[in-house]
Structure 1
Amino acid sequence: MRTAQELKEEIQAFAESIGIDKVGFASASPFVTLKARLKEQQRLNYQSGFEEDDIDKRTHPELLLTEATTIISIALAYPTKLPEAPKNRPGARRGQFCRASWGKDYHDVLRDKLNQLEAFIQETVPGAECKSMVDTGELSDRAVAERAGIGWSGKNCAIITPEFGSYVYLGEMITTLYLPEDTPLIDQCGTCNRCVDLCPTDALIQGGQLDAKKCIAYLTQTKEALPERYRHKLGNRLYGCDTCQQVCPENKGVDFHNHPEFEPEPEVVKPLLEPLLTISNREFKEKFGYIAGSWRGKKPIQRNALIALGHMKEKSSIPTIVQLLCNDPRPVIRGACAWALGEMPTQEGVEALHHADSREKDEEVLEEISKALDKTSPERV
Structure 2
Amino acid sequence: MKIEQLQSELIEYAKSIGVDKIGFTHASPFHEMKNRLKRQQQLGYQSGFEESDIEKRTEPLLLLDSAESIISIALAYPSKMEDAPTGKKGARRGIFARASWGVDYHVAVRERLKLLEEWLRERVQHVQTKSMVDTGELVDRAVAERAGIGWSGKNCSIITPEFGSYVYLGEMITNIPFKPDTPMEDECGECRLCLDVCPTGALIEGGQLNSQRCVAFLTQTKDFLPDEFRKELGNRIYGCDTCQTVCPKNKGKSNWIHDEFKPDPELAKPLLQPLLQMSNKEFKSKFGYMSGSWRGKKPIQRNAIIALAHFKEQSAIPDLIAIMNKDERPVMRGTAAWAIGKIGGPHAEEALRKAKAVEKDEEVLREIDKGLKLLIS
Q: Which category of TM-score, normalised to the shorter sequence, fits these structures? A: over 0.9
Q: Which residue of 1 aligns with 2:210?
A: 211
Q: Could you say what the CA RMSD is over the residues aligned between the two structures, in angstroms?
A: 0.7
- Verify the 8 A CA contact 1:97 1:239 in the aligned structure 2: yes
SS at match of 2:67: coil
In structure 2, the residue matched to 1:138 is 137
Q: Distance in 1 between matches of 2:374 and 2:77?
A: 43
Structure 2 residue identity aligned to 1:326: N
Is the 8 Å Cα contact of residues 196 and 207 (structure 1) preserved in structure 2?
Answer: no
Q: Which residue of 1 aligns with 2:80?
A: 81
TM-score (norm 2): 0.99
Q: Which residue of 2 aligns with 1:183?
A: 182
1:10 deviates by 1.0
Deviation of 1:371 after TM superposition, in Å, equals 1.3
Deviation at 1:129, TM superposition (A): 0.2
How do 1:164-243 residues align onto structure 2 when only pairs under 5 Å count? 164-243=163-242
Structure-2 residue corresponding to 1:150: 149
Within-5 A mapping of 1:14-33: 14-33=13-32
In the alignment, structure 1 segments of 5+ residues that lack a partner are none
CA distance in 1, matches of 2:180, 2:375: 63
Distance 2:134 2:68 in 1: 21
Deviation at 1:223, TM superposition (A): 0.3
Secondary structure of 1:302's match? helix
Q: CA deviation at 1:322?
A: 0.5
Aligned-partner Cα distance in 1 for 2:277–2:351: 18
SS state at 1:257 partner: coil
Residues of 2 paired with 1:169 and 1:371: CA distance? 40
Give 1:190 deviation, angstroms: 0.2
The amino acid across from 1:277 in the alignment is: L
TM-score by length of 1: 0.98
Q: Secondary structure at the match of 1:347?
A: coil
Q: Does 1:367 align with 2:366?
A: yes
Aligned to 1:254: 253
Give runs of aligned pairs for residues 249-328 of structure 1, distance below 5 A. Answer: 249-328=248-327
Alpha-carbon offset, residue 257 of structure 1: 1.5
Aligned length: 377
Secondary structure of the equivalent of 1:23? strand
Separation of aligned partners in 2, 1:376 and 1:98: 32
Q: Give me the whole-angstrom Cα distance separating, in 1, the residues matched to 2:370 and 2:281.
A: 34
In 2, Cα distance between equivalents of 1:99 and 1:353:
37
Deviation track 1:140-162 (CA, whole Å, cap 9, x = no partner) reads 00000000000000000000000
Cα separation, 2, equivalents of 1:373 and 1:319: 17
1:129-179 residue CA offsets vs partner (Å, 9 max, x unmatched): 000000000000000000000000000000000000000000000000010
Report the secondary structure of 2:120's partner residue.
Answer: helix
Instruction: Report the 3-state secondary structure (helix = DSSP H, G, I; strand = E; otherwise coil) of the residue aligned with 2:83.
Output: coil
Aligned letter for 1:23?
I
- List per-residue Cα deviations over 1:216-262 (Å, max 9, x = no partner): 00000000000010001000000000000000000001111211110
Q: After the TM superposition, which segments of 4 or more aligned residues of structure 1 sit over 2 Å from their partners? A: none
- Matched-pair identity in %: 60
SS state at 1:272 partner = coil
